[in-house]
Amino acid sequence: MDNESIMEEERAKYAELEVLYQNIIDHSTEIENELLENNTKIQTILDRMRRYLSPQLYEMITGAEVETSISHQRRKLTIFFSDIVGFTTITDSIEPEILSDCLNKYLDVMSSIAIKYGGTIDKFIGDAIMIFFGAPSFDNDKVHALNCVKMAIEMRDSLPSLAEYWKKSGINHNLTCRIGINTGYVTVGNFGTNERMDYTIIGGPVNVASRLENASDAGEILISNATKSLIDEFIDTKPKGEIVVKGVHTPIETFQVIGLKNDQDKKENPFLKFDSDGFLLKPLHFDKLSTNPEERRLMQYALEKALAALK
């Protein structure tokens, strides 16, 4: 075979290799584009799923750290219930679009506060919220109870600014909420079927927390003695009597949360001034329709501190 034939044969082999290489490059590009498209779809699904799950549960599921089968365990949790006072009375008199916007704004603010303190948002039931502390991630009982009560205080204190948003939207409803908190052993885990499951909690302490919320007054945070015993070092409370809960053999001792200990003393109260000789209690004008929850709380605290000083 002469040199010319050899060169021609080599050129043909090179051309075949070049075609094969280009085919591989084209195929790789197709695979890369397909993977990119699939990753985009997966990320879209994950972003949608994130909206339906608490951050803790979302992280555990996407990180494959939690079983997605029907399973549960006993654990001591602190449980929170809240709802908007008188919300059902305004649902028929307000346009659904406006009501939905204001309710979603309220739930958005409450959810952000819950996430800030590490609460697991169990569910929204209209304007009602159920949150628990201690699962799926666990720290210790005192931390869970204290974070839950701190969360409740911040939620309560955020209502005046939310009320302004509601008023600007045309809802002249006095925005207040009722809150109930209890601590106890419950069953927590996945409940349902293989096709549809909820990560939630069941047990007597859940019912007690719900009953505490129903028994609380407007703008009030009502806790059980089981919760108070865990946070007494940090939170000011006052006794509110006992309630009877169906299925619980003994009455539940309840306490109203006033605020963080020493926190109120660091803030200037517009109704009460202390000096070296005593105190000055300024005139109070209370109107149940126009006095907002923050003003009520400051008035109440001023009266309680004044009475304590007199005693």
User: Three-class SS string for 40-68?
Assistant: HHHHHHHHHHHCCCCHHHHHHHHCCCCCC
**Domain locations in the chain as residue ranges:** 1-52, 71-262, 267-310
What homologous superfamily is domain 71-262 in, according to CATH?
Nucleotide cyclase, GGDEF domain (3.30.70.1230)
Q: Looking at the predicted structure, is the pLDDT value of residue 1 above 60?
A: no
Residue 66 binned pLDDT confidence (cut-offs 50, 70, 90): low
Q: Which of 9-18, 129-138, 161-170, 216-225 has the lowest mean pLDDT?
A: 9-18
**In this structure, are residues 148 and 119 in contact, taking their beta carbons and an 8 Å threshold?**
yes
Average pLDDT over residues 27-56: 75
Question: What's at 108, amino acid-wise?
Answer: D
Residues 251/242, Cβ–Cβ less than 8 Å: yes
| Integer angstrom CA distances of residue 11 from 1, 18, 19 | 15, 10, 12
Residue 192 has pLDDT above 90, yes or no: no
Q: What is the pLDDT of residues 244-268, one digit of tens each?
A: 998 888 999 999 998 888 655 556 6
Half-sphere exposure of 273 (CA within 13 A, CB side): 5
